[in-house]
Amino acid sequence: MTSEGGFVLSDIRLATMVKGDKPYGLIEDGALAIDDGRIVYSGPRERLPTRFTDWPTEKGGRALATPALIDCHTHMVYGGDRAREFELRLEGASYEEIAKAGGGILSTVTATRAASEDDLVEAALPRLDSFIDEGAGAVEIKSGYGLTVADELKMLRAARRLSAERDVTVVTTFLAAHAIPPEFKDNSDGYIDLICQEMLPQAHDEGLVDAVDAFCENIAFSPVQVARVFETADDLGIPVKLHAEQLSNLGGAALAAGFKALSADHLEYLDAPGIEAMAEAGTVAVLLPGAFYTLRETKLPPLQGLRDAGVPIAIATDCNPGSSPMFSPLLALNMACTLFRMTPEETLAGMTREGARALGLLKDRGTLEAGKRADIALWDVQHPAELAYRFGYNPLIRRIYGGEA
Ligand code: DI6
Ligand code: FE
């Protein structure tokens, strides 16, 4: 093998995040060989195959290498902000009261409809940059603040454009079933018809939809309505996921699992049958400590039940203007430890390997293993637990995306 553009990174420690007996898949004296955007070797330096030893070698100064972070649940494309709603909540109004009074998600819908596609891209870029600055290599972005054919397509096109503007992978999710639009106030089934007959097929035709999501909740859509959206997605061959059991238990997680969903997200009100259904279907539990924190939720997601059942657990920011105005994946790790009592290892896995799994990208990303994309974060820390331990501090030294620094 010639070196061409290939190179070796040595004098680094590796948190490969490969599941196994060593915590974090930690390798104290490691090396990575990277060629053509891929990892071709990941392991102990002393075992670096001789065919790589004459490749150009960069010294990592004992930095810790992890997979680049993967945030599998964000709503970072939107117009306006909700600082006024933040004030109202501090004056005593609840998230649900604000939503029922036409505020909440619907106020972001108004601002998003008023924005052009360019406006949305421009507003989202600094948000995305804040993720990239903390080592993100992939983020999921949902629609769901347009709620008309044109405005949902506009959001998804804006999300796609972001990945052309920056070296980062953007995975798009169609979330038209996020809130009942004012035009369908007393006819939510009519809105589901529109989604199934026009919005989703059109968005899919334009190649804008990597997955389909819905908000299953008393203030949003019923399980029966969600099932209709999922059936349409199924017919089009698009994977599904669900905002489930965030504010109450409607059996959304079990419904999603019945459709072999990639993930069920939030899950504070998840019950034992829901856990069992997820375990059986291999549906990832995506926990969102930023929303838990912002809404001052007191009901904890059933972490031990999920662990006992072997349900994979991902962590994400839920970056959105209402329930989680959080632009820091590292802060999500810290919050998941402090608020949910997850271990630092679980949270780092939750934003690497399990985040990749929740996006259906695990074959290609999420761990440092030969064959996977070379999306790597290098950190100035002694131990991987430090990534979750500090907050408001960013130890990223360097991000490698597709083999390029
Ligand atoms: N649950 C959430 O946490 C976000 N969407 C959802 O269904 C919140 C969206 C928002 O408040 O704007
Ligand atoms: Fe969300």
Identify the DSSP state of 15.
Answer: E
What is the distance between the alpha carbons of residues 334 and 340, in angstroms, rounded to a whole number? 10
Give the Å distances, CA to CA, from 68 to 342, 349, 352, 396, 399: 20, 11, 7, 11, 7
Ligand 1 atom having least distance to the Cα of 220: 7
**Superfamily for domain range 7-67+367-400:** Urease, subunit C, domain 1 (2.30.40.10)
Q: Output the pLDDT for position 246.
A: 95
Domain 69-358 in the same topology as domain 7-67+367-400: no
The angle that helices 105-114 and 149-165 make with each other, rounded to 10 degrees, is 80
Ligand 1 atom having least distance to the Cα of 82: 12
Distance 71 CA to ligand 2 centre (A): 12
Strand order through the sheet with 69-71: 69-71, 136-142, 169-177, 211-214
Domain spans, the chain: 7-67+367-400, 69-358
Ligand 1 atom having least distance to the Cα of 104: 11
What is the distance between the alpha carbons of residues 218 and 208, in angstroms, rounded to a whole number? 28
What is the distance between the alpha carbons of residues 263 and 240, in angstroms, rounded to a whole number? 8
**Number of the ligand closest to the Cα of 79:** 1
The protein residue whose alpha carbon is closest to atom 1 in ligand 1 is 243
Distance 309 CA to ligand 2 centre (A): 24
Q: Output the pLDDT for position 3.
A: 57
In this structure, how many other beta carbons lie within 10 angstroms of the beta carbon of residue 163? 17
Q: Output the pLDDT for position 95.
A: 87
CATH for 69-358?
3.20.20.140
Cα Rg of the chain (Å, integer): 21
Q: What is the dihedral of CA 322, 324, 325, 326, to 10 degrees?
A: -170
72, 73, 74, 75: residue to mutate for ligand 1 pocket, most atoms within 8 A of CB? 75
Distance 28 CA to ligand 2 centre (A): 37
Distance 322 CA to ligand 1 centre (A): 6
pLDDT tens for the chain, 405 residues long, are 455 789 999 999 999 999 987 999 999 999 999 999 999 999 999 999 999 999 999 999 999 999 999 999 999 999 999 999 999 999 999 988 998 888 899 999 999 999 999 999 999 999 999 999 999 999 999 999 999 999 999 999 999 999 999 999 999 999 999 999 999 999 999 999 999 999 999 999 999 999 999 999 999 999 999 999 999 999 999 999 999 999 999 999 999 999 999 999 999 999 999 999 999 999 999 999 999 999 999 999 999 999 999 999 999 999 999 999 999 999 999 999 999 999 999 999 999 999 999 999 999 999 999 999 999 999 999 999 999 999 999 999 999 999 998
The protein residue whose alpha carbon is closest to atom 3 in ligand 1 is 323
Query: What is the distance in angstroms between the CA of the first residue and the CA of the last residue of the chain?
Result: 22
The protein residue whose alpha carbon is closest to atom 7 in ligand 1 is 215
Distance 321 CA to ligand 1 centre (A): 8
Q: What is the dihedral of CA 31, 34, 39, 43, to 10 degrees?
A: -10
96, 105, 141, 297: residue to mutate for ligand 1 pocket, most atoms within 8 A of CB? 105
**Number of the ligand closest to the Cα of 264:** 2
Q: What pTM value is reported for the model? A: 0.97
